[in-house]
A and B are shown apart, each in its own frame.
Chain A
Amino acid sequence: MTPRPIVIVGASLAGMRAAKAMRAAGEEGPIVVVGDEAHLPYTRPPLSKGLLEGSETPESTDLGGADLDVEWRLGERVDQVDSIGHEVVLADGERVPYRRLLVATGSRPRHWPGPGADLEGLVTLRTLDDALALRERFDQGPRVAAIGAGFIGCEVAATARALGLDVTVIDIADRPMTAFGPDIGAWVASLHRSHGVDLRLGTGVSAVEGDGRVEAIVLDDGSRVETDVAVVALGAVPETGLLEGSGLALGPGLRCDATLTSVSDPDVLAAGDVASWPHPLADGDQLRVEHWANAVEGGRVAGRNMLLEPEKRRPHDALPSMWSDQYGLRIQVAGLPSGSDSSHVLEVEPDGDRRVVACSRSGRVSAAIAVAAPRRLGWYRQHVERGSSLHEVRAALEEQDEAIGPPAQAVSA
Chain B
Amino acid sequence: MKVLVDMNLCQSHGECAVVAPEVFELGDDDVLRWEEDVGEELREKVEEAVERCPMMAIRIED
Q: How many of chain B's residues have a CB under 8 angstroms from any CB in A?
A: 17
Collect the chain B residues with CB atoms within 8 Å of residue A300's CB: 48, 51
Q: Which residue of A lies closest to B51 (CB)?
A: A296
Say whether, besides A293-B15, A321-B15, A381-B18, A374 and B30 are in contact (CB < 8 Å).
yes
Collect the chain A residues with CB atoms within 8 Å of residue B12's CB: 374
Find out whether the CB atom of A323 lies under 8 angstroms from the CB atom of B18.
no
Find out whether the CB atom of B26 lies under 8 angstroms from the CB atom of A378.
yes
Neighbour of B14 across the interface among A24, A43, A45, A374, CB < 8 A: A374
Q: Mark A370-386, 1 if CB is under 8 A from B, else 0.
A: 00011101100100000
Collect the chain B residues with CB atoms within 8 Å of residue A402's CB: 28
Collect the chain B residues with CB atoms within 8 Å of residue A378's CB: 14, 17-18, 26
Collect the chain B residues with CB atoms within 8 Å of residue A43's CB: 54, 56
Q: Mark A294-336, 1 if CB is under 8 A from B, else 0.
A: 0011001000000000000000000001010000001010000
Collect the chain B residues with CB atoms within 8 Å of residue A293's CB: 15, 52, 54
A interface majority secondary structure:
helix
A17 near B: Cβ within 8 Å?
A: yes
Q: Which residue of A lies closest to B29 (CB)?
A: A375
**C-alpha gap A332/B12 in the complex (Å):** 11
A292 near B: Cβ within 8 Å?
A: yes
Collect the chain B residues with CB atoms within 8 Å of residue A20's CB: 51
Find out whether the CB atom of A373 lies under 8 angstroms from the CB atom of B54.
no
Say whether, besides A373-B30, A375-B30, A378-B26, A292 and B13 are in contact (CB < 8 Å).
no
Collect the chain B residues with CB atoms within 8 Å of residue A24's CB: 47
Q: Which residue of B lies closest to A323 (CB)?
A: B13
Say whether, besides A45-B54, A292-B54, A293-B52, A374 and B28 are in contact (CB < 8 Å).
no
Q: Which residue of B lies closest to A24 (CB)?
A: B47
B39 near A: Cβ within 8 Å?
A: no
Collect the chain B residues with CB atoms within 8 Å of residue A374's CB: 12-14, 26, 30
Collect the chain A residues with CB atoms within 8 Å of residue B51's CB: 17, 20, 296, 300
Q: Which residue of B lies closest to A20 (CB)?
A: B51
- Which residues of B does A touch, CB under 8 Å? 11-15, 17-18, 26-28, 30, 47-48, 51-52, 54, 56
Known: A323-B13, A373-B30, A375-B14. 20 other contacts (CB 8 A): A43-B54, A43-B56, A45-B54, A63-B56, A292-B54, A293-B52, A296-B51, A297-B52, A300-B51, A321-B18, A332-B14, A374-B26, A374-B30, A375-B26, A375-B28, A377-B14, A378-B17, A378-B18, A378-B26, A402-B28
